[in-house]
Amino acid sequence: MSELMSLLLALLFFVPILSSVPIAFAWVYRREEPWVKKLPILSVIGLFISLVIALYIKFYVPDGPHVINWLPDLNINFVFIFDYLSKNMGVLTALIAFLIGVYGLEYMKDDYRLGWYWFFFNLFTASMLLVVYSDNLLMLLIGWEGLGLASWGLIGHWFRDDDDISFVGMKDRKILGLSLHWSPSFGGWRAISTIRVGDMPMFFAIAAIFALTSALGTPNLNISEIPWQELFKYIGSAGTIILLIALMIGPFTKSAQLPFSEWLMTAMTGPTTVSALLHSATMVAAGTYIFMRLSWYIKPWDMHAAPGLETVYLVVLFLGLISALYGALVAVGCRERKVLLAASTMSSLGLMFGAAAASFWVGEIGVSVAFWYLMVHAFAKATLFLVAGHLIHVTHNRFCVGDKEVAKKLKVTYYVTIFATITLAGIPPLTAFWVKSGMDEVMHTLIEEGMLAPLVLLLITSVIYAAFLAKFLSLNFIKGEKAHLSLHGGKIMATAYTVMVSMLIVLLMYVILSHGHVESELIHMGLERNSMIVGLVVIVSYSFAIFKPSIKALYSVGTFLGDRMYMAFLNDFIVPKIGWAIAIVVDYGNRSIDYSCHKAIPSLFEVSSHNIRSIQSGYLKRYMKIVLGLVMVILVAISIIGM
C-alpha cells in the first residue's frame, strides 16, 4: 500500500507537467505543422489523471500521513497528509483545473504561445496540488514557489502588449501623471514582485520553526506534528506574534489582502482561463487554505493561554474583514468584467480569513465554515470567470456591455450567470446562504467576547456583495450598453462552465442531505431568525442592483471606487519611491565599502609599508637608537603611571 501510494502521488504531481512538455517542444520546433495545435489535449488528459487520483485519495485512502524518507536524521522528509481539508481541497483543485483545461481547448486554440501556456498552466495545477497535500513546510514551500513562478508565466502570457483587450484599466486615464492602464508584461512583473514581499518573511519563519523545534529537542517541520503549544511557550508572547505574522505575510500576499491587493487586479491581464484558475482553486486560495490548515492543527480554541496567540488571530480577523469590505466596495465601482470579479475574490478571501480566525473564540466550526465557503466560492467564481471570458470572446470587449439581445443569443450563458450569482450572493435556499449563515452565527458569537465590529463588517460586506454580483449580471445581459456580437463556436466553453456551475447543486444536495456534524450545523444556523433576515436583505440588495446597476448621481463615487481608492497610486508611486530611497542608501553603502576596500585600506597599508621601509636602513647603530628611544618612552610612561 505504501509503495502504491508513493507511485500515485508521483503521478498526481508529475503527470500534468510531463503531459505538457511535448506541447512546449513541438511549439518551439514544429509550430507550423497542423497537428501541433491538437496536442493540448495531452495536457487536459494529464489534468484528468490527476483528478482521478485525487478522487481515489478522497474515497479510498485512510486519514493520516504518508512519509517518504529524505533526510531522516534531521526529520526532514516528504510528508503528505490526508485529512478532511486536504482530501476535499485536492478534488476541488483537480476538478476545477480539468474543467478549465477543457474550456481552454477552445478558448486558447488560436493563441500564439500554446506551448508556453499549457506548460505553465499544468505546472500551476501541480504546484497547487503539492501545496494541498504537503504536511512538511519545506515541501510545501516548493509548491508555493512553483505557484509564484507559474503565475508570472501565465499573467504575463500575452507579453507583446499589442492588444488593448488584454490590458487592465482605462487607456487615457491618469492620476497625478500616473497611468491607470496596465499591460500584461507589467501585470506579470507586479504579481511576482509583490508575492516575493511575502515569500521572504515566510521562508525565514519556516527556518525559525525548524531551529526552534531543534532547540526543543524535536526538530520538525510537519504541520500536524509540530509541538505548537510548547513552541509558543518557549518563545513567549513577542516571539509568537513575530513568528506567526512573518509566516502569515506569505498567505496575505498570495491571497491579495490589504495592502498587497493591487497585484490581483492587474493580474487580469492574463488569459481568462488563468484568471478562473487563479481565483478559484489555486494561488489566491492557497493563502486562505494554509491558514485553515495551520489553525486545524494549532487548535487555537484549546490554547487560550498560549502567549501572543490571541493577538495574531485578532490581526488576521480584522485584516480579513477590512480587506473583504474594501474588495466589495471596489467591485461595486468596477466596470471591467474580470477586474470586478477579481475585487470580489479579494472580498471573499477576506471573509474566509475572518471566519477561520474567529475559530480562536468559537472553535473548529470557524475553520469548517471558512473551508465550506472556499469550496462554494471556487465553483461559483470559476463559472463567472469562464462566462466573462466567453463574453469577451464574442463581444471583443473587456468591459461590462450587453443587453437583452445578448441574453437571447447566449441563453445558456445567461442562465448559468443567474444561477452562479444568486448562489454566491447568499440568497436562500441556495448553497452559499447556508454557508454564509454559518459565518453570520460565527461572527454573532464574537459579541459575547466583546466584539461587535466583525459582525457589522460581515453584514455590510454581504449586502454590497449581492449588489455587485447583480450588477455583473445586469450590465452584461439586461441593462448594459448594446454589444456587437461575433458568435462563432463556444460550445466547448459553454459545456465547461455549465458542468462547473452544476457542482454548486451537488454541494447544495450534500449540505441538505448529509448528516455530518458541520453540515447539520450549517442547516441549523440557516434556519435561525437572524439568518433569515439577512437573507431577505440580500435579496433586496440583489434585486435593486438588477434594476439599477448604475446610478448617475453617484458616478464620481463609483469612479473613485473603480480606481480602487487610489491603491494603484500607492503601488505605482509611493512604494517605488520608498524602493528608490532604499536603493540610494544601499548604493551609498556599496560605495563606502568599495572605497574602504579598494582605496582607503590599501592606501593605509601603502603608507605604513613606506614608513616601515624608511627605517630599514641595514645599519645596526640606527636600530639601537630606535630601540633605546622606545625603551625611554616606556620608562617615562611607567614613571607617570607610578606617580
What does the pLDDT look like over 67-108, one tens digit per residue? 988 777 766 788 999 999 999 999 999 999 999 999 999 999
**Residues 497 and 582 placed together within one structural domain of the fold:** no
Residue 231 lies in a domain: yes
Kindly provide the residue ranges of all beta strands, DSSP E only, lying in 176-264, ordered along the sequence.
178-182
Residue 39 grid coordinates: 496536442
Return the sign of the alpha-carbon dihedral for residues 126, 131, 132, 133: positive
DSSP strand pairing (76-82 vs 64-71): antiparallel
Residue 365 forms part of a structural domain: yes
> SS3 of 82, please?
strand
Q: Helix H segments across 30-83?
A: 40-60
Q: Are residues 440 and 484 in the same domain?
A: yes
Largest alpha-carbon pair distance within the chain? 114
Cut 0.75: pTM above it: yes
CB burial class (10 A; 0-12, 13-18, 19+) of residue 588? Answer: exposed
Contacts of 501 (CB under 8 A, 6+ apart): 379, 380, 383, 416, 419, 420
What pLDDT does 487 receive?
85
Inter-CA distances, 481 with 168, 406, 475, 552, Å: 20, 11, 7, 15
| pLDDT of the residue at 37 | 87
Give which of 380, 348, 362 is closest to 464, Cα–Cα.
348
Q: What is the pLDDT of residue 615?
A: 62
**How many structural domains comprise the chain?**
2
| Residue 465 located in a structural domain | yes
Q: Are residues 76 and 209 in the same domain?
A: yes
593 in the same domain as 481:
no
Residues 395 and 487 reside in one and the same domain: yes
166 and 314 inside one domain: yes
Indicate the residue type of 314. L
**One domain for residues 310 and 419:** yes
Q: In whole angstroms, what separates CA 623 from the centre of its chain?
A: 75
Distance CA 117, CA 311 (A): 43
> How far is it, in rounded angstroms, from Cα 398 to Cα 570?
25
Separation CA 611–CA 616 (nearest Å)? 9
How many residues appear in the chain? 643
Q: Is 570 domain-assigned?
A: no
From the number of C-beta atoms within 10 Å of its C-beta (0-12, 13-18, 19+), residue 71 rates as: exposed
Coil, strand, or helix at residue 111?
A: coil
List beta partners, residue 64.
82
C-alpha cell at 256: 491579495
Last residue of a domain, one of 562, 587, 602: 562
Cα angle vertex 464, ends 459, 469, to 5°? 130
Q: Is residue 259 located within the same domain as residue 321? A: yes
| pLDDT at res. 619 | 61
Nearest to 425 by CA among 382, 386, 469: 469
Q: Do 594 and 473 share a domain, yes or no?
A: no
**Contact predicate 381/299, CB 8 Å:** no
Q: What is the pLDDT of residue 342?
A: 95
Please state, in angstroms and rounded to a whole number, the distance separating the CA atoms of residues 524 and 512: 11
Q: How far is CA 618 from CA 198, 273, 608, in A?
A: 66, 85, 18
Range of the domain at 470: 2-562
Low-confidence stretches of the chain (pLDDT < 50) are none
Q: What is the pLDDT, as a whole number, of residue 622?
A: 65
H or E segment to which residue 170 belongs: strand 168-175
The answer to whether the CB of 84 falls within 8 A of the CB of 132 is no
Looking at the domain assignment, is residue 497 inside a domain?
yes
Question: Are both 523 and 600 inside the same structural domain?
Answer: no
375: in domain: yes
Q: What does the pLDDT read at residue 399?
A: 95
Residue 597 confidence (pLDDT): 82
Residue ranges with strand state E in 10-135 = 64-71, 76-82
- 8 Å CB contact between 264 and 345: yes
Helices 431-445 and 365-395 cross at an angle (nearest 10°) of 140
At 231-253, the pLDDT tens digits run 999 999 999 999 999 999 999 99
- Return phi, psi of residue 82, to 5°: -115, 110
Position 346 in a domain: yes
* Nearest of 75, 88, 80, 85 to residue 64 by alpha carbon: 80
Domain presence at residue 567: no
Q: Are 525 and 591 found together in one domain?
A: no
Domain boundary residue among 530, 562, 594?
562
The DSSP call for residue 336 is B
Domain shared by 554 and 583, yes or no: no
